[in-house]
Amino acid sequence: MCGIVGYTGTENPIPILIDGLKRLEYRGYDSAGLALMNKSGEIKVFKTKGKVADLEKLIENKEWDAVAGIAHTRWATHGAPNTINAHPHVSGSGDLVLVHNGIIENYSILKEALIQKGYHFKSETDTEVLVNFIEDVKKESGKNLFESVQLALKRVVGAYAIVVMDKNFPGQMVVARKGSPLVVGIGKDGDYIIASDAAPIVSHTKTVYYLDEDELALLEPGKEMMVKTLDNKLVTPSLTELDLTIEQLEKEGFEHFMLKEIYEQPRSVYDSMRGRINAEKKQIKLGGIESYENHILESDRIIMVGCGTSWHAGLVGEYLFEELARIPVETEYGSEFRYRNPIIKPRDVVIGISQSGETADTLAALRLAKEKGALLLGICNVVGSSIARETHAGVYTHAGPEIGVASTKAFTAQVTVLTLMALRLGYLKGTIPQERYENLLQELENVPDKIEQVLQKDLIIQQVAREYKNAKNFLYLGRGINFPVALEGALKLKEISYIHAEGYPAAEMKHGPIALIDENMPVVVIATKKGNYDKIVSNIMEIKARDGKIIAIVTEGDQQVAGLADHVIEIPESDEMLTPLLATIPLQLLAYHIAVMLGRDVDKPRNLAKSVTVE
């Protein structure tokens, strides 16, 4: 939800900022802009509606001896996605310039007060209000930039990550965060690069500081960073070394990040298990939650909280935990949970699932559960993210950076971690027969190879995509643990192809959706051998009787469904509890190929952003 980058130091900021914006573009792509400052304090701002490529064209051949710069790629919240509303925003006097990720909730009250004082606004944004508010506080208090930002933010309600420059102090930057992420990269030559995540930073330095909630930092090239809290407490920053490579952030020959990430799944699933599972020794070790295992086993229930794909992973987790560990589980949307006064007791365990670790609704739901005394666990992909830091304990997914807006490898990594957790708890609780436990461990270790085999079905999936790319609607059906997989398949298709798609438990079809079925309705059915196979065969018959087109995901060698379906995509046999890890792959590929054939911008689908840091 908006990406911000800043650079101050001895290098030319322009390529650093543009490259940084490109790496953050997944966070929003409604408009892009940058502001440069030279050593005399002159400021130049360039901004445009559209993508970073448009900004790049705008600044082509515009050489300037800038010493610092800030840049922004926007996902519009307040005001239309046009050039005027694009960041950076400059204060009325022209002294301050600022980029912002987040939402200032009390902006209209602040704006009204500023208008009364004679301030004028060009844009509809909350950000232009913020920069003028800081300017006003600075004028009235006579304080320096750092102190003025600190004072102003104390009166701001909402979420923000900001970078501010003041023309009176060329090269100096003040950064602050609350609710939106911000990372400060500390260069060897005393320069600083700031960004919403580590991706723009890693090619410059691996030493970073993840700014904490309610912290501000003063950055001046050649000088040590000063970090304080909003309440003016001095913080000794604990620096982190990034475990990230440039290669992980490149497409490496794939046409899109999404395709690369789909193909990375044998590796990312393996990495999510590496060092945690040992089938030979019949052991699972989850270091992150080890000291909480008894607490979890004694809990009354587990609540999974997430949004979008992560919510689907939570639903899969619900089946896994209930089946294997016999612990009652409820799965909740972060957005619903936080606003419905949920009943949470200290003997509840709440698991927050999030690729980014920054999703506002998931984070708020977790904070609420924490206030009510629940134990919080996190399943996050981004190391050092807010959810990872605010939970009591957790297990990282180790999927590597996911850049495509549509979540793919993060989902299978989340399901892998949930499977490990359910198995470990079931083992400790004695709710899984030893033989099944050992088989599941063995089978889980085989999953990466089996995903590899599913990926080899890509040509068949492309043919199916070609045949149905012009369909107006799709239905996805699954039963049991594959019901959430149907939901996930439908979400993948709609978000990147813009074709309407719905996922349903197969048996629910009779209660309404069957009315939609005719010869124009492709129905994707997950019909693997073990889970309720006969029941799903009956559902397929019902679709066929109404001329629906059946695309079935079946277990290798299946004859019965193959005889009924219009198309079959085979996946290797596995324990039913592990089929989501395999059945998801063809659905990701189907969505991908349809979207590409329709000419969609697969990695940056319209209206979406990768990291939803606003509610």
Task: State which residue has the least CB distance to ligand M6R.
Answer: 308
- Binders of ligand M6R among residues 404 to 433 (CB under 6 A) are 405-407
Least distance in angstroms from the C-beta of 368 to ligand M6R: 16
Least distance in angstroms from the C-beta of 612 to ligand M6R: 5
495 binds ligand M6R (CB under 6 A): yes
356 binds ligand M6R (CB under 6 A): yes
Q: How far apart are the first and last CA of the chain?
A: 10
31 binds ligand M6R (CB under 6 A): no
CA distance 508 to 516: 13
The upper half-sphere exposure of residue 315, i.e. CA atoms within 13 Å in the direction of its Cβ, equals: 20
Residue 134 or 387 with smaller CB distance to ligand M6R: 387
CA distance 93 to 98: 13
CA distance 564 to 541: 7
Say how many residues touch ligand M6R, by CB under 6 A. Answer: 17
Residue 136 or 495 with smaller CB distance to ligand M6R: 495
Sole window of 166-174, 175-183, 305-313, 423-431 interacting with ligand M6R (rule: CB under 6 A) = 305-313
610 is catalytic: yes
Sole window of 75-83, 250-258, 303-311, 575-583 interacting with ligand M6R (rule: CB under 6 A) = 303-311
Instruction: Name the nearest CA neighbour of 351 among 294, 399, 313.
Output: 313
Instruction: For residue 56, report the phi and psi dihedrals to the nearest 5 degrees.
Output: -60, -40
The residue type of 371 is: E
Residue 215 or 488 with smaller CB distance to ligand M6R: 488
CA distance 600 to 604: 9
Least distance in angstroms from the C-beta of 350 to ligand M6R: 15
Rounded to the nearest angstrom, the gap between the alpha carbon of residue 364 and the centroid of all alpha carbons in its chain is 15
Instruction: Name the nearest CA neighbour of 423 among 568, 320, 291, 499.
Output: 320
Instruction: Name the nearest CA neighbour of 455 among 568, 555, 582, 557.
Output: 582
Residue 181 or 308 with smaller CB distance to ligand M6R: 308
Sole window of 227-235, 295-303, 348-356, 527-535 interacting with ligand M6R (rule: CB under 6 A) = 348-356
What residues contact 608, with CB distance under 8 A and at least 6 apart?
405, 495
Least distance in angstroms from the C-beta of 231 to ligand M6R: 29
Contacting residue, 73, 85, 309, 331, with ligand M6R by CB under 6 A: 309
**Can you tell me whether residue 471 is helix, strand or coil?**
coil
Q: Which entry of 138, 167, 450, 610 is annotated as an active-site residue?
A: 610
Least distance in angstroms from the C-beta of 317 to ligand M6R: 13
Contacting residue, 101, 310, 532, 539, with ligand M6R by CB under 6 A: 310
DSSP letter at 179? B
Sole window of 38-46, 117-125, 186-194, 350-358 interacting with ligand M6R (rule: CB under 6 A) = 350-358
The residue type of 55 is: L
544 is catalytic: no
Element (H, E) at 58: helix 52-58
- Residue 534 tokens read as 């006969």
Residues known to be catalytic: 2, 610
Residues in contact with ligand M6R by CB under 6 A are 307-310, 354-356, 359, 362, 405-407, 491, 495, 608, 611-612
